Amino acid sequence: MKYIHIIIFLLTHDLTELKEYWEVEFIKKEFKWSRLLNKLSKSDNTYMMWYRLAYFMFRSESNKQKRVAVKINRKLNIRYSIDIPLQAEIGIGFDMWHPIGVVITRKAKIGDRLKIGSNVVIGFKNYDIGGSIKIGDDVTIGASSMIFGQNIKIGDNVKIGAMSFINKDIPDNCTVYTKKTTILKKF
């Protein structure tokens, strides 16, 4: 039944923006339906294609299509061990190097060309209080990093090193990382 709603969505909506997202994030070439189907049949990682379809279906007027979008996203979350709700606003060019263990709060407002490694958490401290976590354009977040807090703003052109903990605003054009030390005790 969900495939009928997917087909109805694809036939009855303006797909210009969705095609642009698929072109940049999944096909990585000029959009053509044949390229999309070819990539779907050959790729092991189809997360971005299905996520963006659900993302746009969730924003449609139809409650049936919204429910189908939630089902698609739920299956993606289970298959890839990811938790990215459809309420999160994520700009074009979203790229996960190893799509596993990624968690993004529904309160996230993320700009274009976000690149993240595996096991990245973008978490919100208290849902009872308003606000969001804002991440600018051209941000790279290394594997196993955590951005966690209330009303945090990460600027444009920011690089966050692997295994970093961020709980403060980061201005534009910065590289930030959490200093790590290894302590070895012999017994």
pLDDT per position as a tens digit, 56-67: 999 988 899 999
* Stretch 99-103: mean pLDDT: 92
Is the pTM higher than 0.95? The answer reads no
Q: Report which residue type is found at 142.
A: G
Closest CA to 148 of 127, 126, 125: 125
pLDDT band, very low/low/confident/very high, at 129 (cuts 50, 70, 90): confident
Structural domains in the chain plus CATH codes = 1-80 (no CATH), 83-179 (2.160.10.10)
DSSP calls for 93-146: T-EESS-SS-EE-TTEEE-SS-EE-TT-EEEES-TTS---EEE-SS-EE-TT-E
Closest CA to 153 of 127, 174, 178: 174
Instruction: Please indicate whether residue 135 or residue 6 has the higher confidence score (pLDDT).
Output: 135
